[in-house]
């Protein structure tokens, strides 16, 4: 099963500094058919204007992964962590028992991010934050694990039976991913155009995938892909 959620069909929220699209119910956007996908609860496509951002606010009991598509995001939190994550790289915040954080675009250009929330396997735990560089050249033509709840993966750790993967695919090339039985996959296309098992997916669309053994992605234009695999 592959259910494409076109960019135009996503929930929307806009202010003078934020243009957000919601793949799943979030904030004032509610769709009972889009409450999550497996343990994946939120996938927001955010555009943040220069020198603006999200002021300090709390989270708990959630694994929050930020994939920066363009520009950069600067993180500050109540644990004293500070960091700047640039396009193509990833940051992870395990909210655990509770944390306050802010996310700012301190650049002079528009910042675009995917913010992904995954439900943890267990409640509680000390909050934490981390970021990591993932040069795009290392994701050329294959999926690379960016964040994972599996210790065997060389990736940022999350407290969930899940993987967040990224790939860049040149026009005409194909990448594949084996999906175990009973798992849920969600593909977000940051850039380009692809076919997923023969189904067309365009830039900033999403695709909910289940009950397939292999996800085969063929790029019809140079593409940048983020894929989440959850229980």
The residue ranges of every structural domain in the chain are 2-230
C-alpha span between 157 and 63 (Å, rounded): 10
Below-50 pLDDT ranges, the chain: none
pLDDT attached to residue 136: 78
C-alpha span between 108 and 49 (Å, rounded): 9
Are the CB atoms for 114 and 66 separated by under 8 Å?
yes
pLDDT attached to residue 139: 86
C-alpha span between 223 and 203 (Å, rounded): 8
C-alpha span between 83 and 116 (Å, rounded): 18
Architecture of domain 2-230: Sandwich (2.60)
pLDDT attached to residue 137: 80
Handedness of CA 183, 205, 52, 54 (dihedral sign): negative
Strand extents, DSSP E, the chain: 2-5, 11-14, 18-22, 40-48, 52-59, 63-70, 72-77, 82-86, 90-94, 99-105, 111-118, 128-132, 144-148, 156-157, 162-169, 174-178, 184-196, 199-202, 206-210, 214-230
Both tokens of 136, joined, read 């795009």
pLDDT attached to residue 183: 98
pLDDT attached to residue 58: 98
pLDDT attached to residue 135: 81
Residues 20-49 pLDDT 10s: 999 999 999 999 999 999 999 999 999 999
pLDDT attached to residue 142: 94
**pTM score, two decimals?**
0.97
């Amino acid at each position: 099963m592959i259910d494409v959620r076109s960019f135009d069909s996503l929930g929307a929220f806009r202010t003078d500094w934020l243009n957000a699209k919601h793949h799943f119910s979030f904030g004032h956007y509610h769709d009972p058919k889009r409450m999550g996908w497996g343990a994946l609860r939120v996938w927001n496509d955010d555009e943040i204007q220069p020198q603006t951002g999200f002021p300090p606010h709390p989270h708990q009991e959630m694994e929050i992964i930020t994939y920066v598509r363009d520009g950069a995001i600067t993180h500050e939190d109540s644990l004293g962590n500070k960091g700047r994550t640039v396009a193509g790289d990833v940051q992870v915040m395990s909210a655990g028992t509770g944390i306050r954080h802010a996310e700012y675009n301190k650049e002079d250009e528009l910042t675009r991010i995917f913010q992904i929330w995954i439900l943890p396997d267990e409640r509680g735990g000390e909050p934490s934050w981390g970021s990591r560089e993932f040069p795009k050249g290392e994701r050329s033509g294959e999926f690379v694990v960016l964040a994972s709840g599996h210790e065997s993966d060389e990736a940022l750790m999350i407290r969930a039976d899940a993987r967040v993967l990224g790939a860049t695919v040149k026009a005409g090339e194909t990448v594949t991913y084996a999906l175990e039985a009973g798992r849920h996959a969600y593909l977000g296309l940051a850039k380009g155009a692809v076919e997923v098992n023969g189904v067309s997916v365009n830039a900033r669309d999403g695709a909910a995938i289940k009950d397939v053994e292999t996800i085969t992605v063929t790029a019809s234009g140079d593409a940048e892909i983020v894929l989440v695999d959850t229980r």
